Structure 1
């Protein structure tokens, strides 16, 4: 009889790892999610800190930067301006009347929340803003787990939350941007909609639409939800009180989709203040869908370029109709479809587009539910973490282009 194989050092390490992780399996779900999120943020912190140590000459300074200074860049600088001085009373324009970049492109909830906390704590922006963003990211991850757990067992929901927490652009969850706060509000709004708590969803949607531009696709999701409930009313009752509440939510969502444009108009006296400001970054007027076709032409030429957006839309449609994505429920699928359509309509495709994909977090559940294999799931986490390095080094770190400037993250 062959002798039994001797345990290796690797076997001992795995045994110790399993023993150390065993108590976590019986811990409350919120403890598990919190630990996953904190571990992901520590890894992102290390990536950001290591990249900051190799910083050179930038518009924000010269030489290696500290962590807090390094993350307070790009749009974070705009949010800090709003925190310090609010919004301009008129749209700055050049000699030809073209709008110049200004704070009206950025929504007020995040910087004003930090300003309120500053009044209560006296902590400065450079400390308080990242803290608020990081805690909002934790709230978003917890809320996303709760949302996912309506469709899949807790273990799969936890993996979905882990995919979100380690997503390639997830370092933005601890950077003074509005993404973490808006993602929490979006996840909460979707959960309240799906559970038919329309009255509670109304204030959440109002805050959501003051954090990031999400009102148009969300109003579309509410409309589809109402139509589905009305269609199924004989099998699943749709009481008049709930029907009325859902219609109020639809009206509020539609109104808030346009609210920031009207606020900018009222504050500046210029009807096109918001749209002029948004398009000042692209150097032209807003023409729906056109920037994607222009980008296709720039990438592959005039013959095949116009087909690229069509191909992207076809691939997105196939993905959203896959078996794994069907597991996430109708409302979450509709949200992903309408949000992608919204990006295709209004976004000027550039390197910031990667960051704009964060609201598609329901697809993390589809990715987690697609396979129960631990090897697959850990591979996704490792791959996402490696891509964080790519995102931070490529886009967050300033690398001057030959023509000046740099690709924005």
Structure 2
């Protein structure tokens, strides 16, 4: 076994790494290894997708912006809300299930650059957001466990099994960018900035409730320990109160538009998205065993890996808001009744799941070992992404 160093302990004194106080150019240089590594992994995934698609005579780029949820966002960007699809069984799928920030950005970018259609605008927004997300993840990891761990955390996020979604005109990259930088702002006691970023996250995905909870818990703890800390209580309270406004604002918008106080939840129910405490998930797992014992066992093994990843992260004692956010994203992703094939994608914003491997790799004395592990993970992720995107079902 390779020799390892003791994992770096999280900083608890509030001290800011020297690079974080530098101007933008210096901060960019400080984050450059993470951003370059992330870009390399994602470009590898895209290259594998395009190569497999060409071999099959399919359009790989079209799969990034021309199917599934991407089309709903484009329709909203072009025509606003108001479209409802009626399925053969009479089920109603309303576009009000989709939050407004991504289509608003698509529409704005299309207006600024008219030759760029909303589909291309969605890809550019997602690609830019994915880099911002990698930077934010690096910033959180570097602040807590050092630069090397931060680099590996960001690059591993680019090699996540469903990382291909980061290159699609979907909301995961945009949401993760806003969430990561919001958490970083909390770690730096920039509470108003954290709240404003959480507003954006709340206009992007419903799982922003996890970020709101993290900011609230961290805020209460900070207020309880504020004596002698130099933190202004009013700014903490302002950040905590700002955080839920994006999510609440959109839920209220749907309620007013539909004339029912709980209309948003009715819309989600039309898509079979309900919070049932995991009952539907348990039935799904049992059904897999009934159809194929190996499939059921494989699913249970995946849950075991998920549990290990959470345990490995929490034993490192990450900062409270990072822990609350990461665990809450996973829980929210598991307790709903929606399409089960999307669960890995829905958990992807929880970069907490990658913290244990990132810190472990950062502690290896053999400098080449992390590159080998990350490279293999990137190729595996790219191959899985190509097979998934070129398949029939949505991610």
Could you say whether these structures have the same fold, taking a TM-score greater than 0.5 normalized by the shorter chain as the test?
Answer: yes
For 1:168, what is the secondary structure of its paired residue? coil
- Deviating 4+ runs (over 4 angstroms): 91-96, 308-319
Q: Which structure is richer in relative contact order (CA contacts within 8 A, separation 6 or more)?
A: 2
Q: Deviations over 1:130-150 (max 9, x none)?
A: 122111111111122122111
Q: CA 1:215–1:34 in structure 2 vs 1: closer, same or farther (change >3 Å)? A: closer
Q: CA 1:280–1:53 in structure 2 vs 1: closer, same or farther (change >3 Å)? A: farther
Residue 74 in structure 1 maps to residue 60 in structure 2: no
Instruction: Compute the RMSD of aligned alpha carbons.
Output: 3.3
Q: CA 1:266–1:311 in structure 2 vs 1: closer, same or farther (change >3 Å)? A: farther
Of 313-322 and 292-301, deviating more is 313-322
* TM-score for the superposition, normalised by structure 1: 0.77
Q: CA separation in 1, counterparts of 2:124 and 2:97?
A: 23
Q: CA separation in 1, counterparts of 2:82 and 2:276?
A: 26
Aligned counterpart, 1:280: 270
8 Å Cα contact 1:279/1:286 also seen in 2: no
Q: CA separation in 1, counterparts of 2:152 and 2:121?
A: 30
Instruction: Report how far residue 269 of structure 1 moved.
Output: 2.6
Q: CA separation in 1, counterparts of 2:68 and 2:135?
A: 27
Of 42-51 and 273-282, deviating more is 273-282
Q: CA 1:353–1:231 in structure 2 vs 1: closer, same or farther (change >3 Å)? A: same
For 2:148, what is the secondary structure of its paired residue? helix
Q: CA 1:389–1:309 in structure 2 vs 1: closer, same or farther (change >3 Å)? A: closer
Of 197-206 and 253-262, deviating more is 253-262
Q: CA 1:50–1:279 in structure 2 vs 1: closer, same or farther (change >3 Å)? A: farther
For 2:276, what is the secondary structure of its paired residue? coil
8 Å Cα contact 1:134/1:173 also seen in 2: yes
* TM-score for the superposition, normalised by structure 2: 0.80
Question: Unaligned 5+ residue runs, structure 2?
Answer: 1-27
Q: Size of the alignment, in residue pairs?
A: 361
Instruction: Report how far residue 92 of structure 1 moved.
Output: 5.7
Aligned counterpart, 2:107: 115
Instruction: Report how far residue 225 of structure 1 moved.
Output: 0.8
Q: CA 1:255–1:313 in structure 2 vs 1: closer, same or farther (change >3 Å)? A: farther
Instruction: Report how far residue 34 of structure 1 moved.
Output: 3.0
For 1:137, what is the secondary structure of its paired residue? helix
Question: Unaligned 5+ residue runs, structure 1?
Answer: 1-26, 56-62, 400-406
